[in-house]
Amino acid sequence: MKKTTLLYVDDEQGALETLKMGLEAKGYAVLTAASGPDALDLLKNQSPDIIVADLRMQPMNGFELYQAVKRDTKFARTPFLFLTAVDDFLAQKYGQTLGVDAYIVKPFDIDNLDSIIRRKLSKT
């Protein structure tokens, strides 16, 4: 059976490594990118089943990355989740307006994240 491939985008190296290990332990194949532009480059040759991104990144924030990804029809139906320390109602509401599939606030529980990912993937 093919592993579910997840792309995780975060400009904090420690967060990238920690989440990659945690999700690999849950059985995912995890691709990582340290910025929005890096993620967009990676998406030229990869088609992950789901994308998880931080919100506060440079030079492209998570909202901008989401919009750039969704402009590509290849990823129109790919679930996209925000995993961020930005615990802000207006940011969450803006994410919902854009159409993001979930907005998860750090710190988070890996089991909870896993169940959210599985639930989102079952709807695609």
pLDDT single digits (tens) 79-115: 999 999 989 999 999 999 999 999 999 888 999 999 9
- Structure token pair of residue 83: 């995993």
The mean pLDDT value of the chain amounts to: 94
Domain containing residue 102: CATH number: 3.40.50.2300
Give the integer Cα–Cα distance in Å for 34 and 10: 5
Helix, strand, coil % (nearest 5) of the chain?
A: 45, 20, 35
**Model pLDDT, residue 124:** 63
Residue 56 pLDDT greater than 70, yes or no: yes
Please name which of 32, 19, 25, 36 lies closest in space to residue 3, comparing C-alpha atoms: 25
| Number of domain units in the chain | 1
Edge-to-edge strand ranges of the sheet holding 80-84:
29-33, 5-9, 50-53, 80-84, 102-105
Range of the domain at 69: 5-122
Q: Looking at residue 2, what is its pLDDT? A: 76
Res. 63 pLDDT band, cuts 50 70 90 = very high
